[in-house]
Amino acid sequence: MNEAWYESFAPPPTARPPRAWLDSDAPRLPLDGHWRFRYAERADGPLDFTRPAFDDAGWDRLPVPAHWQLHGYGAPAYTNIAYPFPLDAPRVPDENPTGDYRHTFRLPEGWPGGPALLRFAGADSAALVWLNGVELGRAGGSRLTTEFDVTDALRPDGDNLIAVRVVQWSAGSYVEDQDMWWLSGIFRGVDLLARPEGGIGDVEVSAGYDHLTGAGTLAVAADVPARVRVPELGVDAAAGETLRLPAVEPWSAESPRLYDATVSTGAETVTLRIGFRTVRIDGGVLTVNGRPVLFRGVNRHEFHPDRGRAVTEEDMLDDVRLMKQHNINAVRTSHYPPHPRFLELCDEYGLYVVDECDLETHGFWQVGWRGNPADDPRWEAALVDRMRRTVERDKNHPSVVLWSLGNESGSGRNLAAMARWARHRDPSRPLLYERDWTCRDVDVYSRMYLPVAEVEAIGRGEEAPLPDPALDARRRGMPFIHVEYAHAMGNGPGGLAEYQRLYETYPRLQGGFVWEWIDHGLRARTPDGREYFAYGGDFGEVLHDGNFVADGLLFPDRTPSPGLLDLKKVFEPVRIAPSGDGGLTIHNGHIHSGVSKLDFRWVLEDGGEAVARGALEVGDVPPGESVRVDLPALPATAGEAHLTVRAVLAADEPWAKAGHEVAATQLPVSTTPPLAAAAPRPAGAVPLPATVPPAGGATRAGVPTATSAAVRRDGGRVRLGPGLLDERTGRLVRLGDWAVDGPRLQVWRAPTDNDRAPHGEALEPLWRAAGLDRLTHRLDGVSVTGDGAVVRVRVAPASSDGGLLTTYTWRILAGDRLGLVVEIDPDGRLPGPLPMLGVRFALPGELDQVEWFGRGPGEAYPDTGLATRVGRWFRTVADLQTPYLFPQENGRRADVRWATVTGGRGGGVRVDGRTPFGLTVRPWTAEALDRAAHPTDLAPDGRTWLTLDAGHNGIGSASCGPGVLPPYLLAPAPTHLELTLQAL
């Protein structure tokens, strides 16, 4: 056997023992910058470059930290589960992209002599390191820190040369099969650390909080005799002592109180930020400082569209601030320890962290788990080493409340060994590992992508039993965390509210972590220079998983998606709701804090126009409690009115400015009490309140005034007041001065990722098999009535006897308006649910601006759009489109009462609904959207496509997980849409 240095089961033998990532006053020399770089397709090139005398003048330069694939060497590749190489551990292919690095540095003035360490914070996937020609050893564990002792190799004067060979594939790749881009290189920083004689090697902080007495316990241990000082608490004690501090302020994600501390010897001072908090499982409930915690979490990969996993401090800060702004209180570091700075930010800004070990072996599932490293004793030392390096590096962060052994690695003895090690080393934090459903080795029951009904069963303690009664009893006593749910791929996820309701109902359910935080689309350009975000397959990969890499709540450029806005709404820590007796209930869902940091403001809108506003006196509300407040005295309104009550930050917080909205509720107030919250509902399902004003000041569609004189047959056309109907097609060709083409029944929608559902219950194949993407329209007749016309069309696919009988009834109304009643009746067998049911019109492309009164400003489908509110909104047609990385149905506005599409030379078209309708306006058709692979494939076709729907199928989360919940399914059933059209 010809095993290479990177093909070993064993952990790196010459690295220093792991320790905490410390902020020390000992000199540190960051070595980041532009290093000399040479790329090769194989890993067995000559090693002469490691000699200082080697001439690298011909080499390129590559930034450190960075991934070489994002700088023109090799190419990114994406697979979810599959390994992109044959399974034959620990061997890897001869084709093994390799980067040789060289970097010369000098010690700065005043650098002390004596011991020094060279620290790599992350090199993917394995590195062999030399200093001044001396081999230091290898680094493995891509997202784990490796330190080498360089005391003897370092030159105090003159040039020092670091030489590093990094290989893309190593034995470590078998245990790093996370669902993400395969990207290589030194992607986190490299530092030289002076280690003064008598300095501090490691520090361990234990800072607990007794919620009954308000006291803190503090034990700061160091590997050498040292003094611990916490000036604010008057602490000045020997390291190793356990101190009881009668009164401390606890740390929580809501109030991330930190105390500055130092640990000093004569030779070195380490600075710490201490948070007092106690994590415990009490009676089957996970508590922080004695209170049950509810995780409103997300799974976060490190990602930037240009830098990959080589994220900067600014990127991390953006993530933390965006999470806080969207009511997220917890992060699972899927599926590896993040850059250490990220955890410092979580401590400081307040986020609970599930810190996950760098471990995933999911691709062994494809071979029936044969040879799974999680269960093969040859891997035990390497896996325990990974856990050890995770825990030792991150042990001092108050934000880290749970350790996770890793992700999707099946089950096996090595996981048990990791758990044993972690439990013994750090009994203060519970352990989690999702994939072993027996929970044999862990303290928390966790699962991913469970349907709502199954989560509810777990909440009630009624889950299906395990075969082993002892394990079953143990698991039944555990808290439950939905470690991944609500797959945020493309349009969606739908159904967030249903999960949250359960988490807030059953004490055993302690919330979960939405999959995932950010789309991993890599910035790319078309040949003509237009920017888009690339996904799997865009780099010519033989094996890939397409756009499954783009399943985040943020677009790759960190623009929040509609899904993140929905999540913010669902995660509201304060709920404002009608009290049922004409007032409001304010419920404080915080666990540790009151609501004194929030101001409550209200605004009254009449027909979408603000007519009155004010502040609401709420006073403080203790955590977990509710108060009732009176509604403000409201002025009389003439039209459909809504009261919106918002809870906003009273003062600036580190993560948002004063005025930032934390929670809000909208109530219709034109109806008589009791009030009902304006909950999202399928469009068209509920009639408008009787107080809706006549559209445009004229008579509404339901009570028309006919003007029969205006109906006239004229050479194949029917003149219908302001409209002209083509008798050959049955479609309107003019409305006022505008050339139009419609209505045409619209059933197809460009399948969403959730309709396509690569890992779930896919509707798209059923829809295509039924021919819903190729419906034909046959005109059965146009009859002229006294005050309008009736057009009958049968819409059906080839090779099927099922179809939809569609009747369009036109009536001329007063005020140059046209009433249109669309009746859709299933005829024969049709698959259910249908994608959507509506009608579409082509309008001139110059009409490129839309105003509407309905829910907005964002898109909404039956089970999404929770963040939207009824109002009067305006957008350009371009801005109505949501640029999902893989083009799909998007941009629908829900519960629209009326809309105008205007522009160009002035004027346009107005549509009013007898009941609220769905509105979609695009510069291309649904069919074009369906054909596109990237947003850059879409070009405006010169027309504005206006779609008015009576309903859409829900969105669900079947791209990975459960499909659409029953109330949101669009069954084929007789459907009715009543509209008024008017040229402006």
Residues that bind ligand GAL (CB under 6 A): 80, 179, 334-335, 407-408, 448, 484, 487, 515, 551, 960
Nearest to 326 by CA among 358, 301, 356, 349: 349
What's the rounded Cα separation, in Å, for the pair 854 and 880? 14
Which of 223, 761 has the CB closer to ligand GAL?
761
What's the rounded Cα separation, in Å, for the pair 533 and 887? 12
Per-residue CA distances from 983 to 367, 722, 783, 790 (Å)? 64, 8, 24, 21
Which of 335, 389 has the CB closer to ligand GAL?
335
| Tokens 């790329």 belong to residue | 39
Q: What is the largest CA-CA distance in the chain?
A: 103
Catalytic entry in 463, 484, 859, 889: 484
Which of 160, 404 has the CB closer to ligand GAL?
404
Quick check: is 408 catalytic? yes
Min separation Cβ 333 and ligand GAL, Å: 12
What tokens appear for 968 in the block? 């949101």
Report phi then psi at 767, rounded to 5.
-65, -45
> What does the CA dihedral 427, 432, 436, 441 come to, rounded to 10 degrees?
0
Quick check: is 147 catalytic? no
Which of 141, 490 has the CB closer to ligand GAL?
490
Min separation Cβ 279 and ligand GAL, Å: 23
Min separation Cβ 759 and ligand GAL, Å: 7
What tokens appear for 365 in the block? 């599932």
What tokens appear for 99 in the block? 């980067």
Which of 7, 484 has the CB closer to ligand GAL?
484
Nearest to 523 by CA among 312, 309, 308, 322: 308
Min separation Cβ 316 and ligand GAL, Å: 20
Which residue is nearest to ligand GAL, using beta carbons? 179
Helices assigned H by DSSP within 125-176 = none
Question: Helix (H) and strand (E) counts for the chain?
Answer: 11, 60
Which of 385, 408 has the CB closer to ligand GAL?
408
Instruction: Kindly tell me the sign of the dihedral angle through the C-alpha atoms of 81, 82, 88, 94.
Output: negative
Which residue(s) pair with 606 in the sheet?
Answer: 609, 641
Type of residue numbered 828: G
**What are the DSSP E strand ranges found in 168-307?**
180-182, 185-186, 190-194, 203-210, 215-222, 227-230, 235-238, 242-245, 259-264, 269-274, 279-282, 285-288, 291-292, 295-299
Which of 165, 487 has the CB closer to ligand GAL?
487
Report phi then psi at 392, rounded to 5.
-65, -40
Beta strands 98-105 and 160-167: pairing type?
antiparallel
Which of 429, 487 has the CB closer to ligand GAL?
487
Which of 160, 446 has the CB closer to ligand GAL?
446
| Tokens 């493309």 belong to residue | 490
Min separation Cβ 548 and ligand GAL, Å: 6
Cis preceding-peptide flag for 90 (omega within 30 of 0): yes
What's the rounded Cα separation, in Å, for the pair 811 and 711? 9
Which of 174, 515 has the CB closer to ligand GAL?
515
**DSSP letters spanning 725-794:** EETTTTEEEEETTEEEEEEEEE---PPPHHHH-TEE--SHHHHHHTTTTSEEEEEEEEEEETTEEEEEEE
Min separation Cβ 549 and ligand GAL, Å: 8
Min separation Cβ 515 and ligand GAL, Å: 5
SS3 563: helix
Which of 328, 629 has the CB closer to ligand GAL?
328
What tokens appear for 535 in the block? 């996904």
Nearest to 684 by CA among 821, 566, 501: 821
Min separation Cβ 772 and ligand GAL, Å: 27
**SS3 breakdown of the chain: % helix, strand, coil, rounded to 5?**
15, 40, 45
**What residues are labeled active site?**
408, 484
